[in-house]
Chains A and B, each alone.
Chain A
Amino acid sequence: MLILAMEQINQTCFYLMALLTISVAIIVIRALYVLYLTGKPHRTKSPQPLSTLIVLGSGGHTAEMMNLLSVLQMDRFTPRFYIAAATDNMSLQKARVFEDSLVDKKGIKGVSAQFMQIYRSREVGQSYVTSVWTTLHATAHALWLMIRIRPQVVLCNGPGTCIPLCMIAFLFKILGIRWSSIFYVESIARVRRLSLSGFLLYKLHIADQFFVQWPQLQRKYPRAHYVGCLM
């Protein structure tokens, strides 16, 4: 009786292990496939407008992002979701002014833009040790926002605010929830070394397209595109 029960447990264990191994293998293969496709451009005949997540950093980062948005054809990036750090009051204000100016210019009624705030993973000057916990907290909140947004395009240029969002966008790709293209523009202030956010997104192959504003950086990170100064 006892032996029979033992055998039963052994069998269950075996099945569980097998299931686990298979699912891990599937996830790994899927992740490798996603990594393989990362950076490979889409070729669609008649592209539809893409829902776009725009991560606003703060001061200088936001200014650079607004420069970029002002030259993008906004009808292609619709609807737009703006996310800024909860401690940053100015950035969303800037985005609102920008969206209002679009209405004035094109006369589009009911602009499809939403504005959201997120907890910051690391404040300027915060130590890297305590930033581990704050990053986790920010990630949970980011997950909730990302489930609601599920963007097809992610535009970001640092700092840390964009990391959880990009990670989740990448996770969504692996899980097949949503395929997205992630664009990262390194700040103009980075001349010789990448920022921590930039370094992570570059090294982990999360950013589909990675832009730098100084030639020195492009030489050091050959997958990056040198685009000149945005400011």
Chain B
Amino acid sequence: MGDTADGLSSKRTVFVTVGTTCFDALVKAMDTLEVQRELSRRGYTHLLIQMGRGTYEPAKVYLTLVEWLFASSFSAIVISCSSEFLFSEVVMLLVGKSLGEDGSVAVEYFRFSSSIADHLRSASLVISHADQELKCIMKQLEVATVKRSILEFRLVPSLQLLPSLLFHVQRREENGVKKIKGLWVMRSGSIFETLRLAKPLIVVVNEDLMDNHQSELAEELAERKHLYCAHPQTLHQVIACMDLESLLPYHSGDATPVAKLINRYLGFPED
């Protein structure tokens, strides 16, 4: 196990996700030599592509799911695009695949899972996207983190799944797997979720979408140096030129100014 851990530490994975949409231009861009050369020059060794409804199939993409999930997730750049993302499906698929395999699964690409139930059954870790109870979950996870001596463990499961999640984490540890350092779960389409997790982020703008206002947001945030913004054609340049150190952390905003104005308008006293 220790050997693998050492081997894993040198592996740095890039996760590309297009959500439920079709974004062939991005998948194609990832499949070009230029992009892959730049990625490898920057020390990224693995590429994981979730290609949604797209029709373009990359020629050669290597990926190791277990590393991505349990070891190298900290070094991952998350390349996301502006679309809704059935995150639970994808992660369940990932987890489902990673089980019973010895650590280096070579899967070229995947779309999304067709039967959630199957993956649910086979998964030892179930993560589904649901952020409504986020604060509550975070609290519980922090408690769990202390108890189970997991260094960093942040994810966004749904509340019903939490007990089974913790059970499975525990079981993995009993089996001697101590590598669960952290797992960052993000929803594409939610740029802010990623920013809050302080992950370096490249947003690739999907030019095929009608009225794509997400690109407006991405460009603005790129201007403010919170992330990098790219088009499928310019992706390799962005990867070549980016300086992750220069990215500024994003501080979440709050709604108190709105609340103040609403209260004032309605004649409620300010406090």
Contact = CB atoms under 8 A, between A and B. Distances in A.
Interface residues of A, number: 49
B214 A71 contact: no
A213 B210 CA distance: 22
Contact of A47 (B254, B256, B261, B268): B268
Contact of B258 (A44, A60, A68, A231): A68
Interface of A: 41-44, 47, 50, 59-60, 63-64, 66-68, 70-73, 76, 90, 93-94, 97-98, 124-125, 153, 155, 181, 183, 185, 187-193, 195, 208-209, 211, 213-214, 225, 227-231
A93 B266 CA distance: 28
B152 interface: no
Contacts of B207: none
A230 B253 contact: yes
30 contacts: A41-B265, A44-B267, A47-B267, A60-B190, A66-B132, A67-B255, A68-B255, A70-B255, A71-B258, A71-B259, A94-B132, A124-B84, A125-B209, A155-B262, A188-B217, A189-B213, A189-B214, A189-B216, A191-B213, A191-B220, A195-B213, A208-B265, A209-B265, A227-B255, A227-B257, A227-B258, A227-B261, A228-B253, A228-B257, A229-B252
Interface in B145-176: none
A231 B252 contact: yes
Given A42-B265, A189-B217, A227-B255, 14 more contacts: A66-B132, A67-B254, A67-B255, A76-B266, A76-B268, A97-B132, A155-B262, A183-B265, A188-B217, A191-B217, A213-B253, A227-B257, A230-B258, A231-B192
A153 B266 contact: yes
A209 B263 CA distance: 11
B189 A59 contact: yes
B42 interface: no
B38 interface: no
Contact of B261 (A90, A94, A190, A211): A211
Contact of B267 (A42, A90, A183, A208): A42
B201 to A, nearest CB: 14
Given A72-B262, A231-B192, A191 B267 contact: no
B34 interface: no
B267 A41 contact: yes
A5 B177 CA distance: 100
Given A42-B265, A76-B268, A214-B220, A193 B213 contact: yes
Nearest to A194: B213
Nearest to B217: A189
B63 to A, nearest CB: 28
A161 B68 CA distance: 39
A93 B217 CA distance: 27
B264 interface: yes
A76 B263 CA distance: 9
Contacts of A59: 84, 189-190
Contact of B259 (A68, A188, A190, A229): A68
Interface string B235-270: 000000000000000001111111101111111100
Given A41-B264, A47-B266, A190-B213, A97 B259 contact: no
A191 B132 contact: no
A101 B251 CA distance: 25
Given A59-B84, A90-B130, A192 B267 contact: no
A211 B256 CA distance: 12
